[in-house]
Amino acid sequence: WGTRASILAEQLAEADSATKATELIESEVTAPLAGYRRRDPIAAATLDALRREPRIDMRRIAADLFVSDRQLRRRCRTAFGYSAKTMQRVLRFQRFLALSSWNPRVTEDGVGRLAWAAGYADQPHLTRECVALTGVTPTRFLTETRRNCGPSHDHKTKFAPFLPAPTETE
């Protein structure tokens, strides 16, 4: 708290009542929240839908939330800094990384299975997205990441939040 605490202490010493002192403390404690905006419920619901269903269509999300496609894009861009579709791409890739971190020896065949599990339509879809996001193919990205991180570096905990919760049918 530093200087802010010293200033507050002086103001509290000069306060003429407990009510005034309480107001000063409240004001100081809540000041950092002044710029905080309440979480947009449409953006939050969109994020929840993207986490639950990695292949979900943006039009379906918009329809489910009773907003237009344009409004969904605008509100997500305001909340996340980019569109819902871009958020879907990022979450899907992070889900792929999370799944691959649990299987250190991913073969070409295994990459296809991981692609589907992560929410991609197929392995070529994953490959296009991986090249667009990283500049290299998934196999090369995973190989280089593992080589550069070393055997003792574990990404499991870093990516675990991006894995969808298991459902009753899984």
What are the distances in angstroms from CA 78 to CA 71, 73, 124?
A: 10, 9, 31
- pLDDT value at position 108? 57
- pLDDT value at position 44? 92
What is the distance between the alpha carbons of residues 54 and 47, in angstroms, rounded to a whole number? 10
- pLDDT value at position 169? 43
- pLDDT value at position 167? 43
Q: What angle do CA 168, 91, 165 make, to 5 degrees?
A: 15
The model's pTM: 0.66
Q: Mean pLDDT of successive 10-residue segments in the chain (170 residues)?
A: 81 85 81 69 94 94 97 92 92 88 66 89 94 90 78 56 46
98 touches 159 (CB < 8 A): yes
- pLDDT value at position 98? 84
